[in-house]
């Protein structure tokens, strides 16, 4: 196989003198222009024969050899003369070999020297693999440490040979032990367990030695700072020839889980007690599945056992057909509108087929996108309450109709009495009979006031307010007329009228006169004779103010809140000239509010009692007046 080309003397000695390194001579293959096309070998020493055997002469045709540089790189060795070192890897005589190769310029080619480094390469590879395994082991150990810390766990191992406990590196921090101290025996470990649980833990470990397969138990331990934590042990015993040789497992910190479970138990207990205490039927609806969880009060409220009640479709079928559409529409609106609550009142079919009037209330829970994910609520049976309210409303309507009819029909005989008394007074009766006729007329007037008050009360209760006839009105002029009339009736009492600022507005003059008369009469009836009664009219562009003040004992504070309620009287009337029904202040409030105004009272020992009325300049702006006018037109 040797080439006809013969190398120089020095190279020939190296090729044939038993040199252990393989050497192959390559020469350049060029075209007519001198361009390098390839390399081909021309000679080799005996050590290189296994490498050359089976390969073509052209270097580019060599197969199964890895690491050969590209043609241009080897051309650089020939052109520049700089040696090139690299590694080759391939199959030689059926065995995998590694060589350190060095290409050295030789004429118009190069000599390729090959040193076998298979053994050292294997050692290096073995070292690298060992380092990689060690690196992987350290990584696994670090991953295990991080996993244990994240999961709040430690690992432990006990062997019968050592009789000691081995813990993972984070055990001291995990158990709250002083840094560097580890409970390396079962006895030292039990010292960290609460005293009342040590015997149970020792017994659990003994049972673990006899257990076939995994076992678990819980205990509580106290940290060095006094903190009590809850732990769960999961372990397994390994046996040889039936005898326990090793125990290993993990310990998990379950303190937060135990607290959450305790809180859940307390919440469930509160839920159960609340259900019993309120006697309401609690429910929990999952809109995505349609399932409804019914509370234990279902049998008491509706006659069903919880397992007899179904989901949303079942509930829909139990709603009274006349109420179903309205209830479902309102529920759908609550779910889709983004609201957080829903209230419905409807009839629901009991198990016995009868219908209960129920009040259903629910709260909606939504996710981050606003979708309803849960709805919790309660059903209250209001059947008896509804019946009681209906009976009360019917009785109240009957009483008010009766009072209204009675007050209206009493006016005819009362007018006859009044006219007869006045006729007798005009005939010039003797003084005793003159006094009797005067008393009859006064009593008839009181009865007339009582009837007027009753009719006003009836209007408020039945039609929602007292109708007004609004017109341009001067409040000071109205006050002057009322004061003059009452001065004649109470000549011994002083009534002082003061007026300042604007006094005109759009009001009902007759009803304002009734307001002033009732307030001044109230002051005359309940005030003292020690000082005058002041009637003050003041105003600005926006509103009119009316104040009536009288001296005397203050109104008890506990009576101020109900002073304007009907049939309420404070103190004792002095003259007996009022109606005596306790409706005067109630009617004052209704008339003032009908005008869109407000009436208040203050009373103390030093300043006596003052009623203050605030009126808007134009009562037509009052929504209440407009609604009352519409009601009056509808009634007409």
Report yes or no: 316 and 328 within 8 Å, Cβ to Cβ.
Answer: yes
Strands 533-539 and 495-501: parallel
Task: Examine the pLDDT at 623 and tell me if it is beyond 60.
Answer: no
Q: What is the DSSP letter of 563?
A: T
Does the pLDDT value for residue 85 go beyond 90?
yes
Closest CA to 204 of 161, 162, 246, 237: 237
Which pLDDT score is estimated for 362?
A: 93
Alpha-carbon separation of residue 330 from 346, 347, 365, 371 (angstroms): 12, 15, 17, 17
> In the predicted model, what is the mean pLDDT of residues 571-575?
50
Report the C-alpha gap between 295 and 317 in whole angstroms.
19
pLDDT tens profile 341-381: 999 999 999 999 999 999 999 999 999 888 999 999 999 99
Sign of the Cα torsion 394, 398, 403, 408 reads positive
**Where does the pLDDT of residue 421 fall: very low under 50, low under 70, confident under 90, or very high at 90 and above?**
confident
Average pLDDT over residues 261-277: 75
Model confidence at 123: pLDDT above 90: no
pLDDT band at 294; cut points 50, 70, 90: very high
Name the β-bridge partners of 22.
Answer: 114
* Mean pLDDT, the chain, whole residue set: 82
Residue 621: the pLDDT is: 75
Residue 473 CB neighbour total at 10 angstroms: 20
Nearest to 214 by CA among 249, 240, 244, 168: 249
For residue 116, give the H/E element and its range.
Answer: strand 109-116
Distance between alpha carbon 504 and the CA centroid of its chain, in Å? 55
CA distance 448 to 458: 15
Biggest CA pair distance of the chain: 183
φ/ψ of 595, rounded to 5, equals -80, 0
> What is the C-alpha to C-alpha distance for residues 68 and 31, in angstroms, rounded to an integer?
23
Distances from the Cα of 208 to the Cα of 205, 217, 244, 449, angstroms: 5, 10, 10, 97
Identify the H or E element spanning 86: strand 84-92
| Token pair 């981050």: residue | 368
Q: What is the mean pLDDT of residues 267-273?
A: 74
Q: Higher pLDDT residue, 186 or 401?
A: 186
Report the candidate in 362, 363, 349, 360 with the shortest Cα–Cα distance to residue 382. Answer: 360
Residue spans of alpha helices (H) in 5-100:
9-16, 49-52, 71-80
Confidence of residue 323 (pLDDT cuts 50, 70, 90): very high
Name beta bridge partners: 364: 375
Backbone angles phi, psi at 98, to 5 degrees: -120, 140
Distance CA 506, CA 469 (A): 10
* Region of residue 34 (left: phi > 0; alpha: psi -120 to 50; beta: else): left
605-616 mean pLDDT:
91
Q: Does the pTM exceed 0.75?
A: no
Summarize pLDDT for 167-201 with one digit per residue, the tens. Answer: 888 888 888 877 777 778 888 888 888 999 999 98
37 three-class SS: strand
Averaged pLDDT, 574-595: 73
Question: What confidence score (pLDDT) does residue 407 get?
Answer: 64
Compute the Cα dihedral for 119, 121, 123, 125 and give only its sign.
Answer: negative
Q: Let me know how long the chain is.
A: 636
User: How far is CA 276 from each of CA 304, 348, 467, rounded to the nearest angstrom?
Assistant: 16, 21, 50
Give the SS3 label for residue 538: strand
pLDDT at 552: 84
Are 494 and 532 in contact by the 8 Å Cβ rule? The answer is yes
- Residue 91 predicted with pLDDT over 90: no
pLDDT tens digit string along 62-83? 888 898 999 899 999 999 999 9
Give residue 275's pLDDT.
Answer: 65
What burial letters (b/e) apply to 183-199, b meaning 16+ CB within 10 Å?
Answer: bbeeeebbebbeeeeee
The arithmetic mean of pLDDT across residues 219-232, rounded, is 88
The span from the CA of 131 to the CA of 124, in Å, is 10
Judge contact between 620 and 506, C-beta under 8 A.
Answer: yes
Q: Which two tokens stand for residue 299?
A: 């049998």
pLDDT at res. 629: 46
**CB-based contact 468:625 (threshold 8 Å):** yes
Beta pairing partners, 504: 474
**What per-residue confidence (pLDDT) applies to 636?**
36
377's enclosing H/E stretch is strand 372-381
Residue 1 or 217, more confident: 217
Mean pLDDT of 234-247: 85
Mean pLDDT computed over 543-559: 88
What percent of the chain lies above the pLDDT cut of 90?
Answer: 32
**Which of the four pLDDT bands, split at 50, 70 and 90, describes residue 148?**
low
Cα–Cα dist 142/154, whole Å = 13
Dist. CA 68–CA 110, nearest whole Å: 14
DSSP state for residue 295 in the 8-state scheme: P
Confidence tier at 601 by pLDDT (50, 70, 90): very high
Q: What are phi and psi of 23, to 5 degrees?
A: -140, 130
pLDDT tens by residue, 9-45 = 445 444 444 457 899 999 999 999 989 999 999 999 9
Q: Which two tokens stand for residue 52?
A: 């050359």
- Cα–Cα distance, 200 to 565 (Å, whole number): 72
Asked if 356 contacts 344 with a C-beta cutoff of 8 angstroms, the reply is no
Q: How far apart are CA 246 and CA 216, in angstroms?
A: 16
Tell me the C-alpha distance between 279 and 444, whole Å: 57
pLDDT, mean of residues 322-337: 93
* pLDDT > 70 fraction of the chain, expressed in percent and rounded: 84
């Amino acid at each position: 196989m040797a080439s006809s080309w013969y190398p120089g003397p020095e190279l020939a000695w190296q090729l044939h003198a038993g040199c252990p390194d393989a050497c192959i001579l390559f020469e350049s293959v060029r075209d007519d222009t001198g361009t390098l096309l390839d390399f081909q070998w021309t000679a080799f020493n005996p050590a290189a024969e296994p490498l050359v055997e089976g390969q073509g002469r052209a270097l580019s045709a060599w197969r199964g050899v890895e690491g050969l540089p590209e043609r241009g790189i080897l051309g650089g060795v020939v052109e520049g003369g700089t040696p090139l070192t690299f590694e080759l890897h391939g199959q030689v005589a059926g065995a995998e070999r590694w060589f350190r190769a060095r290409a050295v310029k030789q004429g118009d080619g190069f000599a390729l020297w090959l040193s076998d480094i298979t053994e050292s390469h294997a050692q290096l590879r073995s070292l690298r693999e060992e380092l990689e395994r060690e690196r992987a082991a350290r990584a696994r150990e670090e991953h295990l440490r991080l996993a244990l810390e994240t999961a709040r766990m430690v690992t432990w191992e006990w062997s019968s040979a050592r009789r000691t406990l081995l813990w993972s590196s984070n055990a001291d921090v995990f158990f709250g032990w002083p840094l560097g101290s580890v409970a390396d025996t079962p006895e030292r470990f039990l010292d960290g367990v609460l005293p009342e649980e040590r015997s149970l833990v020792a017994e659990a470990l003994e049972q673990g030695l006899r257990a076939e397969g995994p076992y678990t138990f819980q205990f509580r331990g106290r940290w060095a700072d006094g903190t009590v934590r809850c732990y769960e042990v999961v372990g397994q015993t390994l046996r040889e020839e039936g005898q326990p040789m090793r125990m290993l497992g993990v310990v998990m910190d379950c303190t937060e889980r135990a607290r959450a479970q305790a809180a859940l138990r307390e919440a469930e207990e509160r839920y159960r007690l609340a259900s019993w205490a309120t006697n309401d039927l609690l429910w929990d609806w999952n809109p995505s599945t349609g399932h409804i969880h019914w509370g234990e009060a279902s049998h008491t409220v509706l006659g069903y056992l919880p397992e007899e009640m179904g989901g949303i479709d079942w509930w829909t079928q139990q709603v009274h057909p006349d109420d179903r559409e309205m209830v479902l529409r309102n529920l759908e609106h609550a779910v889709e509108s983004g609201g957080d609550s829903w209230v419905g009142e409807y009839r629901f079919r009991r198990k016995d087929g009868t219908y209960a009037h129920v009040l259903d209330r629910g709260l909606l829970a939504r996710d981050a996108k606003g979708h309803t994910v849960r709805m919790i609520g309660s059903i209250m049976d209001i059947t008896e309450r509804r019946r009681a309210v209906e009976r009360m409303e019917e009785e109240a309507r009957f009483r008010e109709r009766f009072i209204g009819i009675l007050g209206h029909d009493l006016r005819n005989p009362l007018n006859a009495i009044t006219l007869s008394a006045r006729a007798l007074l005009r005939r010039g009766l003797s003084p005793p009979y003159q006094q009797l006729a005067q008393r009859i007329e006064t009593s008839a007037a009181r009865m007339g006031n009582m009837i007027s008050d009753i009719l006003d009360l009836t209007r408020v209760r039945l039609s929602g307010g007292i109708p007004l006839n609004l017109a341009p009105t001067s409040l000071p002029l109205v006050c002057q007329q009322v004061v003059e009339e009452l001065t004649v009736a109470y000549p011994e009492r002083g009534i002082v009228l003061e007026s300042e600022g604007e006094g005109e507005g759009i009001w009902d003059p007759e009803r304002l006169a009734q307001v002033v008369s009732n307030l001044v009469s109230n002051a005359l009836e309940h005030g003292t004779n020690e000082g005058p009664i002041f009637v003050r009219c003041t105003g600005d562009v926006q509103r009119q103010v009316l104040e009536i003040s009288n001296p005397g004992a203050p109104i008890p504070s506990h009576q101020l809140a109900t002073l304007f309620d009907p049939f309420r009287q404070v103190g004792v009337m002095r003259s007996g000239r009022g109606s005596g029904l306790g409706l005067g202040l109630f009617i004052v409030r209704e008339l003032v509010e009908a005008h869109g105004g407000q009436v208040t009272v203050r009373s103390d020992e030093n300043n006596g009692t003052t009623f203050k009325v605030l009126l808007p300049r134009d009562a037509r702006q009052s929504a209440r007046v407009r609604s009352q006018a519409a009601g009056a037109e509808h009634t007409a």
